[in-house]
Amino acid sequence: MHRMANLKRRRVNRRAVYAGSFDPITNGHMYMIRTGAGMFDELVVAIGINPEKKYTFSLEERLGFLRKCTAGIPNVRLDHFSNMFLFHYAKQIHAAYILRGIRNSHDYEYERAMCYINADLNPDVASVFLMPPRELSEISSSFVKGLVGPKGWARVVKDYLPPPIYRHFLEHFVDGKSRGDTGGLKDMPERV
């Protein structure tokens, strides 16, 4: 009976949260955002901040990227949260759904385990999974940043980044190095 009540509440509250580091936002993220916006009344795209991680782009830059890329999607709202479990954040903003992408078998195993843990800790929030099309399935922020450096990298990354942020991405990586970096690229953070 408890699960039926949860399902009825979810039908009324069709708000979902899609969280990530978006460091930077990629075409794969945009697929998730566009598809999720079509599925829910409101999609909260939230930057999750892990205080122990080092990010390539500042929070302000990443929010700016998201703002530019989602400008034409009326039911998308942007936010950020720090040092909090995603299911706690979902509860805090009254989201009934967590939207997650599954690109490969590694993502599946991780997301399956997280789905069960989230359901145990907060049964009022359901996880919804999307599998991106083949041409986007291996794109991640770390993948794109890992392409920086070799000759021709600027042309290669263009295929993986939304047009509104491509120029900013190029300007950030001057001569294949991050601005202000004197020793080349450092280890890139993984996705949230």
Q: How far apart are the first and last CA of the chain?
A: 34
Marked catalytic residue, from 15, 21, 29, 140? 29
Q: Which residues, at least 6 apart from 109, have a Cβ–Cβ distance to it below 8 Å?
A: none
Marked catalytic residue, from 103, 145, 172, 191? 103
Nearest Cα to Cα of residue 57 among 180, 158, 163, 152? 180
* Annotation marks residue 103 as catalytic: yes
Q: What is the sign of the dihedral through the CA atoms of 186, 61, 71 and 76?
A: positive
Marked catalytic residue, from 21, 127, 140, 141? 141
Nearest Cα to Cα of residue 43 among 72, 69, 66, 18? 18
* Annotation marks residue 3 as catalytic: no
Which residues on adjacent β-strands are paired with residue 76?
43
Question: Which residues are annotated as catalytic?
Answer: 29, 53, 103, 141
